[in-house]
Amino acid sequence: MNNIYSKGAILLLSGPSGCGKSSLLKEVYKVIDNYYFSISTTTRAPRVGEKDGVDYYFVSKEEFTQDIENGNFLEWAEVHGNYYGTSLKPINQALLDSKLVIFDIDVQGFEQVIDRLSAITTTVFITTPSIEELEKRLYNRATDSKEVIEKRISNAKLEIEYIDKYDYFIVNDNLEIASDQLVSVAKSSLIKASLYNKSEIISNWN
């Protein structure tokens, strides 16, 4: 088959911390092996067990703001007093390699990606059944202080207002059901008609 039928695409996930995005993505990785998970750059301190270049690229605020000025980010945002951003270079290479590029970013980053790459991006908002369930999961996770959890809850109440801007909405109440839904979306994101050049397709088909 001509390689014009093999295209890179972006799967963008948003949702409050604690809604289970990482657990759902593990199921996606079982069925789609040609993927690249975008590692964000951040100015926040590493949590226990996190490694630079694996979980995040950890940099100083000075380094981050310099990269903003140099145009090195696809998107960036300030969240809970720290900066987070997505470097362009590995994204462009993954797309050239026809990979599914997976983002886990907040609603600020979502808007920046859509402004630049809407044709190749499929978006999904994931959340818990209720704010009470989200709070319970955050406390059970025991990775953040009470102050940080309260900030995350407050931010989640604002983020939920954006759900109608996304292509898909998944409530992670039952892990099996929610993961099946996300796997279906991930597969469909690779065959969106908007990924392809119409003139090139017609010329090749004829």
| H-helix segments, the chain | 21-31, 61-69, 88-96, 107-117, 131-141, 146-159, 175-189, 198-205
Instruction: Quote the CA–CA distance of 18 and 90 in Å, as a whole number.
Output: 27
pLDDT in tens, 24-45: 999 999 999 999 999 989 999 9
pLDDT digits (tens, 9 = 90+) for 101-150: 999 988 988 998 999 999 999 999 999 999 999 999 999 988 888 998 99
Tokens standing for residue 58? 């950890």
Cα–Cα–Cα angle for 174, 125, 58, rounded to 5 degrees: 105
The residues facing 56 across adjacent strands are 52
> What number is the average pLDDT over the span 5-30?
93
Please name each of the domains of the chain with its CATH number.
3-195 (3.40.50.300)
Q: What is the pTM of this model?
A: 0.84
181: pLDDT strictly greater than 50? yes
- Is 2 a residue whose pLDDT tops 60? no
